[in-house]
């Protein structure tokens, strides 16, 4: 019996085509390893340092006073190094990693194009340190239609740590 004869007799195909993917299938956007590249971090810092916000009753200002300049990317850190001097604090940094009892390596990933993704953090002028770049970018991916909400959440975190 051919497939056409089977379908004619029983009313359904013997070998149906695989189902099409569901429309609007949800994909988990959470950046579970909190990773970002130095390029993404620099773009985020440029956006933060160029956006004046009215955070309280005062005049508009940068959140947290802005992010400190520079990063600790091994490619660019040699430009900051002064012979015999300790390295200055940079705005984008890779925090020190204590492996803990499991001995896990610091989270990292390499994209097919060779881009290295690391657990990068930001250091603000007001002393707030350790805001994770990957989690900030994740907030933007979770709320793509309301970036102002995300910016104000970041600002609350950058400002609220001192209060």
* pLDDT tens sequence across 97-143: 776 677 778 788 888 898 888 889 998 888 888 889 998 988 888 88
Instruction: Check if the beta carbon of residue 91 is closer than 8 Å to that of residue 73.
Output: no
Q: Is residue 25 part of a domain?
A: no
Q: Is residue 2 part of a domain?
A: no
Residue-range definition of the domain harbouring residue 138:
32-95+106-160
Q: What mean pLDDT, rounded, does the chain reach?
A: 79
Q: Is residue 15 part of a domain?
A: no
Instruction: Check if the beta carbon of residue 111 is closer than 8 Å to that of residue 138.
Output: no
Q: Is residue 126 part of a domain?
A: yes
Q: Is residue 10 part of a domain?
A: no
Q: Would the pTM of this model clear 0.75, i.e. be above it? A: no
> What gap in Å lies between CA 96 and CA 112, rounded to an integer?
26
Place of tokens 């020190």: 96
Query: What is the domain count for the chain?
Result: 1
Q: Is residue 111 part of a domain?
A: yes
Q: Is residue 4 part of a domain?
A: no
Q: Is residue 6 part of a domain?
A: no
Strand runs (DSSP E) across the chain, as ranges? 92-93, 108-110, 116-118, 121-123, 129-132
């Amino acid at each position: 019996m051919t497939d056409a004869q089977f379908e004619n007799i029983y009313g359904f195909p013997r070998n149906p085509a695989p189902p099409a993917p569901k429309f609007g299938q949800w994909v988990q956007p959470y950046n579970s390893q909190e990773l970002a590249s130095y390029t993404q971090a620099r773009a985020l810092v440029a956006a933060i340092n160029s956006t004046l916000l009215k955070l309280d009753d005062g005049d508009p200002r940068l959140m947290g006073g802005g992010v400190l300049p520079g990063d600790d990317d091994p490619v660019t850190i040699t430009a900051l190094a002064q012979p015999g001097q300790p390295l200055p604090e940079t705005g984008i940094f890779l925090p020190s990693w204590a492996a803990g009892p499991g001995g896990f390596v610091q989270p990292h990933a390499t994209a097919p194009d060779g881009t290295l993704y690391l657990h990068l953090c930001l250091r603000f002028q007001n002393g707030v340190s350790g805001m994770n770049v990957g989690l900030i970018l994740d907030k933007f991916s979770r709320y793509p239609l309301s970036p102002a909400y995300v910016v104000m959440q970041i600002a609350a975190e950058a400002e609220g740590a001192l209060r």
